Structure formats: structure tokens, C-alpha cells
Amino acid sequence: MKATLLRTVAVAVIVAVCVPRTADATVVGFEDFDGGAVNLSSTANVEDYPHSNGNLGDVFGRLVQGSGAMPFDVADDSAADVSGGGINPGDSLGIAGRNTSNFFAMNDADATTINNATWTFNIASALSLTSISMDIAAMGDFEASSTDGFRVEARVDSNAYSTIFLGRTNEAISHTYRAMDDGTTPSHNDPLELFIDGSGTAAAVLDKSVASTGNFDTYTSVLLAGLSGTSLDIRISWEGTPSGSEAMGFDNITINAVAVPEASSFLFGGLTVAMAAVGYARRRRT
């Protein structure tokens, strides 16, 4: 009986320790521009472009809600003073309303030589990437002749960048945007369409924030799914000539992956099973 007990315990420990727990999907990188970053190791050009006050239109950088530094073309001032320039009941432009939190914005920044911003995340805890998601908004009369729009790229470690999101003008259509904060629904020609992972078919016409929540729409790329490494870079850049009342915004950069199970969980699981086996054998013996 004693030999049988020892064999039972040994088998339980070997099986429990050597068979890993199923890997869990988790967020291994995150930036919400509100102080909730996860594994964000460095940035470049995110804060460098000087923000204009509410009376001007240029921006390339992180905008802080309530700072009085949001350009009027980016802000929905129809019901509240979001830009710091005053309430404007006739406002028909603006991707960010009174309920929108901090985000990264680009608008009419042709006066600056900065053309890209990067975020670097530590993804060493990832067994393999599954997706990259981002909240994106755009609003205005974009121009195909100057290739107005944006490009979002990603890379693992020092590999070449791959385009995951591309914003391009469609001058053949107009778009009725979702409601401004005061309830009016503006319509503008030549909106931006979003292309994901190199697809030749637009996934959506980009829109402004939802008035009740302030949120942008979320889009997901799976182009880098299955890859692993130690770092992941996200780069956002202009496409064409950034001029005029053509606001674009980005928020909640999220890197999703299958996480590597912790080794301690293997050992703990093995000991738990072994102790259960010993208890069972004792009960049988008594």
C-alpha cells in the first residue's frame, strides 16, 4: 500500500508540474493618454509639438481635456467650451466633445517638421501577439489631391514596419457624421475611409466621437498575430499635406497577446495535486 501511495504522489507531481496551464489572452501593452499606460517603455514626438490655444488650429501631439489648448477644429464646442475658445452653437466640426478624455491629435500641422510619433511597448511577457486595437476618429473636408490622411504602422523588435491602419480620402462621397454634443448632425464632403492590414476595401468611414460617452470607434488589426519579441513599436504619421480643418484623433492603443504562463503557477499546481493525492490515499488506507 505504501509503495502504491508513493507511486501515486510521484505521478501526480510529474503530471501537474510538466503539463503547463493553458496560456491566457491578455493586454501586454496599453496607452490611454490618461495615465493608465501598461508596459509603455518610451515615446517620441508625442508631446513635442507645441499645442495651440483654442483660437488657432494646429496640433500634432497629446491633447489634455480642459487645458484650453485644444484647437477649435478638433473640439466639438457646440454645447460646451471644449477648446477653451468659447461655446459655439453653430459648430459643425470637432471629433472630441465634452465627454472625451485625453488623446493624440493631428490637425493642420503643416507648420511643423515633425511627421511621426512613436510608442514603444515591452512585450517580453507575450507568448505570441493576437491583435492590436486602436480608437480612431476623423472629421473634415479632406483632399485626395494632397493625399490627406494618416498611416499607423507597427513592428516587433527592429524588423521593418508594417501598415496596420491607413486613412485615405474618398472624394466621391459625403458623410453625415454622428451628432454633435448639441444634437445637430453635420454633413461634410470628402471624408476619410479606413483601410486595415493592407486591405483594398475600406472597413469604415471614420467618424467623430459618440456625444454621450466621448469615445472614438475601435478598430482592430491582426497583421502581426503570431509574432513574438521583446518590444513593439507603434508609429503614427501624416499622409500628404496636413492643412485645413481636418482633425484626426487616436486613443486607447491596445496590444493583445497570449501571455506566457508563470512558472510558479506550474509548481503550485503540481503541489496542490500531489497533496490531494496524498489525502485521498490516506482516506483509502483508513
Quick one: CA dihedral 173, 96, 165, 25, positive or negative? negative
15 contacts: CB under 8 Å, gap ≥ 6: 270, 273
d(CA 89, CA 78): 4
Give 38's DSSP letter: B
Structural contact between residues 195 and 202, judged by C-beta atoms closer than 8 angstroms: yes
Give 224's DSSP letter: T
Query: 220-261, pLDDT tens digit by residue?
Result: 999 999 999 999 999 999 887 766 778 999 999 999 999 876
pTM, 2 dp: 0.83
Helix axes 263-285, 2-18, angle to 10 degrees: 160
d(CA 266, CA 15): 10
Please give the chain's pLDDT, 286 residues, in tens.
544 444 444 444 444 444 444 556 799 999 999 999 999 999 999 975 555 444 467 888 898 877 677 888 899 999 999 988 889 999 999 999 999 999 999 988 766 667 889 999 999 999 999 999 999 999 998 887 777 899 999 999 999 999 999 999 999 999 999 999 999 999 999 999 999 999 999 999 999 999 999 999 999 999 999 999 999 999 999 887 766 778 999 999 999 999 876 654 444 444 444 444 444 444 444 4
Quick one: CA dihedral 61, 100, 168, 85, positive or negative? negative
d(CA 282, CA 286): 6
Query: Rounded to whole angstroms, what are the CA distances from 172 to 60, 66, 190, 247, 286?
Result: 28, 36, 7, 20, 84
